[in-house]
Amino acid sequence: MLENEMIICRCEEVTYKQLTETAEKYKCASRELKLRTRAGMGYCGGRTCRTMVDNIAHSFNGNERDCAQLTLKYQPPIRPISFGDLGDVKK
């Protein structure tokens, strides 16, 4: 597998190539990169890809101070649910 084809955000299936091309084209901070590509907006809320998205934005953004101010956060689900509820297993 080529590095460009590597999926960074599994939930939204965003590749490394999509992230780097967007970051290079728009010189955007991580929040804007997230909004433009949907990386970090899936089921996990960015827990698995947030650091990589931050790093990619940071490496393509000329003004590092702006990147540091707009780093991503992850959001846990609104309320926890049990595994039984997820699988619809009757108790």
- State the helix-helix crossing angle for 16-26 and 30-37, rounded to 10 degrees: 120
Distances (CA, A) of 18 to 6, 69, 80, 83, 88: 10, 23, 32, 34, 36
Give all domains of the chain, ordered by start, each with its CATH number. Answer: 3-74 (1.10.10)
Q: Which residue has the higher pLDDT, 91 or 5?
A: 5
Helix-then-strand count for the chain, H and E: 5, 2
Q: Pick the residue with more confidence: 83 or 37?
A: 37
pLDDT tens digit sequence for 42-72: 888 888 899 999 999 988 876 554 444 555 5
**Whole-structure pTM value:** 0.67
Q: Which of 62, 59, 66, 74 is nearest to 9 (CA)?
A: 74
Residue whose C-alpha is closest to residue 14's, from 51, 59, 57, 53: 53
